[in-house]
Amino acid sequence: MAQPVYADDDGDLELSAPWERAIDTARHGKIAWLSEHHRRKFALLPAGLAESALEALEDAEDRSAVAQARARRAAGELAIPLEQIEAEITADEQAAKA
């Protein structure tokens, strides 16, 4: 027997909705929002869209890190010597193994 489908005005599917409908929604390039008590809990989306979103977030993080580094440099902060960074990475790796 098929489970009932609950969709609110936003098109969100309740968690009791059949997975087939959510997958079909994503297959057609749309995000299927899975809700519980009218609150979005999960999103099912096409893999390409998820990958693009993650790449965009990573790019934004990189741009932010560069902007912060440039601002610190413009403010006169000293750069960290490469040897110090390498030593910290080595120490972190050794601590992770312990």
pLDDT tens, position by position, 1-45 = 344 445 566 666 665 657 888 888 898 999 998 888 889 988 999
Count Cα atoms within 13 angstroms, Cβ side, for 80.
9
Q: Which residue has the higher pLDDT, 61 or 79?
A: 61
Do residues 28 and 51 both lie within one domain?
Answer: no
Q: How many H helices and E strands in the chain?
A: 3, 3
Q: Per the domain annotation, does 1 fall within a domain?
A: no
Residue 87 in this model has a pLDDT that exceeds 50: yes
Do residues 17 and 41 both lie within one domain?
Answer: yes
Do residues 27 and 38 both lie within one domain?
Answer: yes
* Residue 93: per-residue pLDDT: 95
Q: Per the domain annotation, does 68 fall within a domain?
A: yes
Query: What pTM did the predictor assign?
Result: 0.56
Strand ranges (E), the chain: 13-14, 32-36, 39-44
CA-CA distance, 32 to 45, in Å (whole number)? 6
Q: Per the domain annotation, does 21 fall within a domain?
A: yes
Do residues 52 and 36 both lie within one domain?
Answer: no
For residue 36, what are the domain limits? 13-45
Residue labelled with tokens 């609110």: 8
**Token pair recorded at residue 37:** 């008590």
* Residue 16: per-residue pLDDT: 60
Angle at 20 (CA atoms; ends 14, 23), nearest 5 degrees: 85
Give the total number of structural domains in the chain: 2
Do residues 39 and 22 both lie within one domain?
Answer: yes
